[in-house]
Amino acid sequence: MKTKNRTILIIDDDKIITEIVCKLLSDAGYNTLYSNKGEKGISIFKKKSEQIDAVILDFVLIDNNGIFIYNELIKLNKDIKVLFTSGGMNKKKLNKVLQYKNTNFIQKPFSLNELLEKIEQLLNIR
């Protein structure tokens, strides 16, 4: 697996999930950045977009929603790869999200293997 020098930005308002995902990805060889707020995540992405290979984005955030954040990210980099996450999402919204370019979805809770598989698919490193 070619994870060296790959950077993932995690945007999730659940601090515990963010910490766990950062640790799991770091242990797997990824560099990680994170934000517990949507607007801060956009700000990090603006500053470091050239370094970020993919974003793990919670679909429902306290301060915003995943679609808004996604639209802001693609204004900055139309080719950014985004893995949406959610604990509960209806099929209509899920189908809409999966039509976006360079996106995928993982249902919470997820295992390390499921997460790594989705990221590898998104980054085309398998």
pLDDT exceeds cutoff 80 at 125: no
When pLDDT is cut at 50, 70 and 90, the band that residue 82 belongs to is very high
Using CA atoms, how far apart are residues 58 and 124, in angstroms rounded to an integer?
A: 21
Specify the pTM.
Answer: 0.93
Dihedral, CA atoms, 19, 21, 29, 84, nearest 10 degrees? Answer: -140
What local confidence, expressed as pLDDT, does residue 92 receive? 78
Q: What is the mean pLDDT of residues 100-118?
A: 93
pLDDT exceeds cutoff 80 at 97: no
What local confidence, expressed as pLDDT, does residue 115 receive? 96
Domains of the chain and CATH, by start: 7-123 (3.40.50.2300)
pLDDT exceeds cutoff 90 at 19: yes
DSSP state of 16: H
Sign of the dihedral defined by the CA atoms of residues 50, 24, 59, 79, in that order: positive
Using CA atoms, how far apart are residues 2 and 6, in angstroms rounded to an integer?
A: 8
